[in-house]
Amino acid sequence: MAAYVDTLVVATSNKGKLEELRALLAGLPIEVRAVAEVMADPPSVDEDGQTFTDNATKKAREIAHATMMLTLADDSGLEVDALGGRPGVRSARFAHARATDAENNAALLAALEAHGDPPSAEGFPARFRCVLALVDPFTGGGEPRTVEGECLGTITRAARGSGGFGYDPLFVVEGTGRTMAELDEAEKNRLSHRGRAFASLRPLLERVLVERAEQARRVE
C-alpha cells in the first residue's frame, strides 16, 4: 500500500465534515479530494431518503458514477427523543432548506420549548448518528459498503464551545460534561458518531485500497 497513493472523493459540500473526514483519514495512502476539486460542475444529489443509509448510499453511488473514482459519502444528523427522533435526516435543513447552523440551532431550541423543562438536569436525551457509504466503481461490483456510528448525549439550552459545526454547541457528550463544540479535535474524532463510524470503516477501506493497488500493478 505504501508505494501506491490513491484518490478518495468525499461526497460533501460541508466544509466541517470534509475537514473531520480528512483528519480521520490521515495516515492512509490516499489523497482526499472534495467533489468540487475533481469536477468543474458537480452533480446535485437530492437527499430525499427516509434514512441516513438511504442518503449516504445515494450520494456515494451518484458521485462515484459521475467521477468513476473511489467515493465516500456521509449522512448524519441529530435525533432528539422528545421530538420523536427529529430533526433526523432533516438535521441540515431543520429550520428551512438553506438554513445556517445558527438558524437550525434556534429552530431546535424553539421546538424543545414546547416540551417544557427537560426530564433531567443533563438536558433532553439525544444522539448523533452517522452512516458512511463507500463505493468503488472497480471493486466489489460497485456496490456500496456501509458502516454506522452513534454518540449519545443530551441537548442543553445554553450553547457552549467554539469548535465543531452544526448542533455541536448544544450537544453534551455523554460522560464528558462538555458539548461537542468544547472537545478538542482528537477527543471529537475519538468520541463522535463520525469518528466511531470511521473506526468501523477504516479496515474495510484499507482492504479496498489493497485491491485497487493490486489492480493498478496488474495493468502497468
List active site positions: 75
Residue 219: exposure state from Cβ atoms within 10 A (0-12, 13-18, ≥19): exposed
Q: Where are the beta strands (DSSP E) in the chain?
A: 6-10, 30-34, 71-80, 124-135, 145-155, 171-173
149, 200 contact by CB (below 8 A): yes
Strands 124-135 and 145-155: antiparallel
Q: Which three cell numbers stand for residue 100?
A: 445556517
